[in-house]
Amino acid sequence: MHPDLQPSGYKLLSYIARTGGANAHQLAELFEMDKSMVSRQIRMLEDFGLLESRPDERDGRLRALTATAAAQETLAQLRSENAERMRAVLAELTPEEVQAASKAFRLLAEV
């Protein structure tokens, strides 16, 4: 995406792109992040050309955030590459190993 993009910025951008938009208040609550950290990440994402901000139509005090077309395209490419790597790893496993891994991940997700 960008060499200076922090993991928290990537997480915020991914969510915004997946949901079609958000505002900083929603992001801070959802990800349990300090508002100042969210604001810094938003500024960086805007500076990198990955995020657009405009006044929220419902509440002018807020800014509506959307991923740029470039960000959407890059995220789609990264998802595709990640899926290909996952397929390559899974192709090396036996059906029994896949089943065991699936069970382990399911149990971990419940923790």
pLDDT score of 8: 95
Residue 102 lies in a domain: yes
Helix segments in the chain, DSSP class H: 7-19, 24-30, 35-47, 69-91, 95-110
Residue 2 lies in a domain: no
pLDDT score of 60: 80
pLDDT score of 91: 95
CATH of the domain at 22: 1.10.10.10
Distance CA 78, CA 76 (A): 5
pLDDT score of 13: 97
Q: Could you give the number of structural domains in the chain?
A: 1
Residue 105 lies in a domain: yes
Residue 66 lies in a domain: yes
Residue 1 lies in a domain: no
What 3-state class would DSSP assign to 67? Answer: strand
pLDDT score of 3: 87
Residue 27 lies in a domain: yes
Residue 97 lies in a domain: yes
- Residue 16: which of 26, 3, 7 has the closest Cα? 26
pLDDT score of 18: 96
Residue 24 lies in a domain: yes
Domain that holds residue 11: 7-110
pLDDT score of 2: 86
Q: How confident is the prediction along the chain (111 residues), in pLDDT tens digits per residue?
A: 788 999 999 999 999 999 999 999 999 999 999 999 999 999 999 999 999 999 988 888 889 999 999 999 999 999 999 999 999 999 999 999 999 999 999 999 998
